[in-house]
Amino acid sequence: MMIPVTLSKIIINEKDREQVILLREQDGCRQIPILIGFTEATSIQMFIVGTKLPRPMTHDFFADMIKTLGGEVAALSITDVVDGTFYASLRVKNAQGAFVDVDCRPSDGVALAVRLNVPIFVREAVFVKISGAGD
């Protein structure tokens, strides 16, 4: 089962290599902390606060490219966590109308999801693994 979540917090520490995003269950209180890189965290934060740059950032470029080629991102799904590494996929509708799942890092997926205003889901099994109930 896939659980809808929202990006609830971005924690940026300029002294650290790894930053944290928190995904919170929409109809509950469970959260998933995901460590991401400084560049991805900054990209997400800049978009959320409305920072405009003269040239597109990488995630802006990919969002524009998908739209320009006739595609549409339908959703981001966090599908698994193995040894602390999260796995995700973007569900993309291509120009012919077919849906394809594209493997991505959760950080890149979240950066695109916030730009394109698409839903984010976490597989129930990921919540279970994070809570330790699956051990």
pLDDT at 101 (0 to 100): 97
What total of structural domains would you count in the chain?
1
| Dihedral sign from CA coordinates of 95, 58, 118, 116 | negative
Burial category of 39 from C-beta neighbours within 10 Å (exposed 0-12, middle 13-18, buried 19 and up):
middle
pLDDT at 100 (0 to 100): 96
**For 107-121, what is the mean pLDDT?**
97
**For 15-40, what is the mean pLDDT?**
93
Whether the pLDDT of residue 74 is over 70: the answer is yes
Strands 120-123 and 72-82: what pairing?
parallel
Which CATH number covers residue 66?
Answer: 3.10.690.10
AA identity, residue 7: L
| Model confidence band, residue 131 (pLDDT cutoffs 50, 70, 90) | confident
pLDDT at 70 (0 to 100): 94
> Residue 77 belongs to what domain range?
2-131
CA distance 75 to 53: 26
Whether the pLDDT of residue 15 is over 90: the answer is no
pLDDT at 133 (0 to 100): 61
Answer whether 107's CB lies under 8 Å from 40's CB. yes
CA distance 51 to 79: 30
Tell me, yes or no, if the pTM score tops 0.85: yes
| Dihedral sign from CA coordinates of 46, 49, 50, 51 | negative
**For 65-91, what is the mean pLDDT?**
96
AA identity, residue 105: R
